[in-house]
Structure 1
């Protein structure tokens, strides 16, 4: 006797099927399992509650701490950090990992260590405001064109953190020459 398969219809729309966390968590679209991939890169965003972090993430102490933790735990969990940008109130990462469990462990440990070290509470409970505004946002980046767009976006964020003026059109209005200038 042949076994029947029943297709379960998901409520996640097509444009959100590779995304999880962030503000999506507030709607029913972001409440499923976190999509992760061992082959494809992942765009990861940690959003910090600026009231909980003194000086923001771009202060020299916090910036050095972030880069140290990223290096340490990417090595430990075999996750390659292709690109990162640390802003005043959020962090963008472009990562690649091996197994799903390694990527999940990387997300969990990095978020926990960031929170403990930023609030100076590694051994005690934090009674102040929550460190994270939302759960980490992840998006599996499918295809070369999407990968290039995410890389340019992260680079643009880094340039804006270093003093480049913000533009509403951002990447959409950039010419080839401006994109080359972005990476110079």
Structure 2
């Protein structure tokens, strides 16, 4: 009887394609992680700043993260369409084949990131947790949401490279400014 009531856990319609991050702390995000083998997935890893002192944009960490992304995307047959590494979080736009391969990619990538960031391959890490939340994923349904996420990740990358931050961000941008993002 308990198992049947657990499987009927309903999520709010707005969050039916989302999982992880801060949603996990509320009732909204406690269902199964929605994944799709046909649609792209927006993936966000957020680190705990106390655990990683220099951030993710330091040269050593940045190159290490890029190597790990390439390595495990090949291993689990996941294509990375776009990636933006910020000081305290990472945005990745991926497409995968099988659900099990995407799940393995998420699990191994999070674990390897954490081990490499804390240099704990043989000993247990005794300090702060590396990840602030579980990885946030959102299945992107349709072309317009895909374009918005793609532009958002590109804007994050430009801001990491020195473009000034704006509160309105994508909503206040004209068509010409959106084109300049991709130049």
Query: What is the TM-score with the length of structure 1 in the denominator?
Result: 0.94
Matched, 1:128 2:127: yes
Q: After superposition, what is the alpha-carbon deviation per residue over 1:124-179, rounded to whole angstroms, capped at 9, x for unaligned? A: 10001000000000000000001000000000000001111111110011111000
Shift of 1:9: 5.5
Matched, 1:69 2:77: no
How far apart, in 2, do the equivalents of 1:9 and 1:145 lie?
31
How far apart, in 2, do the equivalents of 1:19 and 1:87 lie?
21
Query: What is the TM-score with the length of structure 2 in the denominator?
Result: 0.95
2:57 alignment counterpart = 58
Q: After superposition, what is the alpha-carbon deviation per residue over 1:82-129, rounded to whole angstroms, capped at 9, x for unaligned? A: 000000000000000000000000000000000001000011100010
How far apart, in 2, do the equivalents of 1:103 and 1:9 lie?
24
Q: Which secondary structure does the structure 1 equivalent of 2:11 belong to? A: coil
Q: Is the 8 A contact 2:42 2:149 kept in 1?
A: yes
Q: After superposition, what is the alpha-carbon deviation per residue over 1:58-96, rounded to whole angstroms, capped at 9, x for unaligned? A: 000000000000000000000000000000000000000
Higher Cα radius of gyration? 1
How far apart, in 2, do the equivalents of 1:102 and 1:54 lie?
32
Q: Which runs of 5+ in 2 are unaligned?
A: 1-6
Q: Which runs of 5+ in 1 are unaligned?
A: 1-7
1:167 alignment counterpart = 166
Q: After superposition, what is the alpha-carbon deviation per residue over 1:27-84, rounded to whole angstroms, capped at 9, x for unaligned? A: 0111110000000000000000011112100000000000000000000000000000
How far apart, in 2, do the equivalents of 1:108 and 1:57 lie?
19
* Alignment: residue pair count: 177
Shift of 1:10: 4.2
How far apart, in 1, do the equivalents of 2:46 and 2:122 lie?
23
2:3 alignment counterpart = none
Counting only pairs closer than 5 Å after superposition, residues 27-106 of structure 1 correspond to structure 2 as: 27-106=26-105
2:4 alignment counterpart = none
Matched, 1:19 2:34: no
Q: Is the 8 A contact 2:10 2:31 kept in 1?
A: no
Q: Which secondary structure does the structure 2 equivalent of 1:132 belong to? A: coil
Q: Which secondary structure does the structure 2 equivalent of 1:181 belong to? A: helix
